[in-house]
Amino acid sequence: MAVIEVTDLRKKYADLTVLDGVSFSVEEGEIFGILGPNGTGKTTTVECVEGLRRPDGGSIRVLGLDPVRDARKVREQIGVQLQQTQLPESIRVWEALDLYASFYANPRDWRELLEEWGLADKRDARFGKLSGGQQQRLFIALALVGNPRVAFLDELTTGLDPQARRTTWELVKRVRASGVTVVLVSHFMDEVEELCDRVAVFNRGKVVAIDTPAGLVGGEHRMRFTLMAGDASGRGDAADLENLPEVTDVSREGNRVVVTGRGDFATAVTAHLARHHVLVSDLRIDKRTLDDAFTALTGRSFE
């Protein structure tokens, strides 16, 4: 079941077209990524879906409701972590959770959230005294305190150190595991690759592709190696590689061999070589990444 359906969304600020016909749908229980460089309309799209902005055209359905007309009902069922928002410096962690819980008809017990998000020992700390990672965890907890069906997380690991990012990723997976659909806005490839079930790739106010991260990267990988000199038997066996189902192409130039294939072809190739006692050196695998996929989709590099 689609929990969010966006069709032909359009938005202009003065003369600048920010969204130029954006369409996608988010299925229940998935982590849906909205990926693109800064300034491609990701946040505007999400803010329209949250009902914070009025689109100029197109239609949006969130849990079957219109986020502008049925704003209250929609906000009751969504949780939001916004980019660049803060809390008052002097508010205590528990006060913020208690306050936000009071906004919803059917909130979660915020004490549980404190435990889950590792903030129990920061219960009485003031917001201004928290570290970046702790603030971020509090924001996610605040997004979940209303017991939402959909959580929107906008650039949630920006400004965090690698360790804190990893931890945050694990927490996001836990949110999904608890049955909440997650919409994740990000300009980090690795984050999207790690977390998302499906991704909409944004470029210049349009969605240029929607697929799984693996599907987007898709295509073929290449593996290069050099046959050890004097290994006469190896020459023939290397040619046999073409018969492996995962391999799409083998090209040779002297001792240099380049094998192209899909999926887990690298394991198949190395197993094949080992089975035939072929010795190789300088083995390298060129993996396509989401960066390559983005460049291929848009004709420009990311960032």
104 binds other proteins per the rule CB under 8 A: yes
Q: Compare residues 48 and 227 and give the one whose CB is closer to other proteins.
A: 48
Among 3, 87, 93, 217, binds other proteins (CB under 8 A): 87
Q: Which of 74, 17, 7 is nearest to 44 (CA)?
A: 17
Which H or E run contains 181? strand 181-186
221-280: which residues touch other proteins (CB under 8 A)? none
The CA-atom distances, in angstroms, between 288 and each of 66, 142, 302 are 39, 37, 14
**Whose structure tokens read 């995962």?**
246
Contacting other proteins (CB under 8 A), which of 14, 16, 38, 84? 84
Between residues 148 and 261, which has the closer beta carbon with respect to other proteins? Answer: 148
Binders of other proteins among residues 56 to 75 (CB under 8 A) are: 72, 75
Of 86 and 248, nearer to other proteins (C-beta) is 86
- Tell me how far apart the alpha carbons of residues 167 and 249 are, in angstroms, rounded to a whole number: 40
Site string for other proteins, 119-158 (x = CB under 8 A): ---------------------------x------------
The token duo for 248 is 């799409």
State the Cα–Cα distance between residues 255 and 242, nearest whole angstrom.
17
User: What is d(CA 40, CA 46) in angstroms, rounded to the nearest whole number?
Assistant: 12
The verdict on 105 binding other proteins (CB under 8 A) reads yes
Contact with other proteins (CB under 8 A) among 80, 151, 184, 196: 80
User: By CB under 8 A, is residue 82 in contact with other proteins?
Assistant: yes
The answer to whether the Cα torsion of 42, 43, 44, 50 is positive or negative is positive
Strands (E), 105-172: 150-154
Of 36 and 51, nearer to other proteins (C-beta) is 51
Q: Which of 2, 52, 208, 296 binds other proteins (CB under 8 A)?
A: 52
Indicate the residue among 132 and 236 with the shorter CB distance to other proteins. Answer: 132
Closer CB to other proteins, 39 or 88, in the complex: 88
CA–CA separation, 23 and 9 (whole Å): 6
Q: Which is nearer to other proteins, 70 or 246 (CB)?
A: 70
Q: Side by side, which strands form the sheet with 16-27?
A: 16-27, 2-13, 57-62
Point out which residues pair with 223 in neighbouring strands. Answer: 259, 285
**Does residue 99 belong to the site contacting other proteins (CB under 8 A)?**
yes
For position 76 contacting other proteins by CB under 8 A, the verdict is yes
* Residues near 158 by beta carbon (within 8 Å), at least 6 away in sequence: 83
- Give the interface with other proteins as residue ranges (CB under 8 A): 50-52, 72, 75-76, 78, 80, 82, 84-88, 90-91, 95, 98-100, 102-105, 146
